[in-house]
Amino acid sequence: MHFNTFSESVVKIKHLELFGEESHAKMSPPYRLDFAKRMKEKAKTAKTAGVMALFYPDQKAETNLVLILRKTYKGVHSNQVGFPGGKYEEGDDNLMVTALRETEEEVGVPMDKVNVIKTISPLYIPPSNFMVHPYLGLLDSTPQFIKQDDEVEDILEIHIQEFLDERNVITTKVPTSFNAKVAVPAFKLNGHIVWGATAMMLGEIKDLLKQVL
């Protein structure tokens, strides 16, 4: 999809109601929603983070979405695909600023170049005790991505047609902390399997986009 067509249409989502849990449930691992309910009290004191779903034109003026592959480290999100973003820090005016700042740090897109279109439903992440606040943003020009080497293994540029294609919603088996594999819904994007919280947030974004494109 040509970026001019996308950018003219996507602004319409400003006026749409969010799908929230309805969308999240479609891409949720089978055990997750019940686990999150049991962690409801803990969620009230969760740390906060902001992430950015950033759409932009590639060199052919086609619409892309940027995701990142995180480094392997001792943590719950090691070597997983996610959005650019990170935890709220003192000095951030709000969580949207957090998402913009972290996006600049992780993939090199200047904060002042991003036009934030929509605040997406927040999502609680029980394993790390974070409440994540996603934002949908537009970048009007083709970016020169700069990878933050200590946190980002790779920058993934996803064509919007690939993201919206229902054939790329799959079921895959992932390991759990109980040393067993569980079948979960996921996206297959650029050869990478995207599941869990990122897939749940992508699911809502996809449902919103399909209302206006």
Q: Residue 174 falls within a domain, yes or no? A: no
**Domain containing residue 151:** 3-161+197-212
Task: Tell me the CA distances in angstroms from 79 to 55, 191, 207, one per residue in order.
Answer: 23, 14, 26
SS (H, E, C) 68-85: EEECCCCCCCCCCEECCE
Residue 74, pLDDT > 60, answer no
DSSP 8-class letter at 37: H
* Counted domains in the chain: 1
Convert the pLDDT of each residue in 12-50 to its tens digit.
999 999 999 999 999 998 877 777 777 777 778 899 999
Of the candidates 184, 172, 144, 141, the one whose C-alpha atom is nearest the C-alpha of residue 29 is: 184
CATH of the domain at 56: 3.90.79.10
Residue 152 has which token pair? Answer: 């980002």
Q: Residue 185 falls within a domain, yes or no? A: no
What share of the chain in percent tops pLDDT 90? Answer: 79
pTM of the predicted structure, to 2 decimals: 0.93
Q: Residue 170 falls within a domain, yes or no? A: no
Q: Residue 26 falls within a domain, yes or no? A: yes
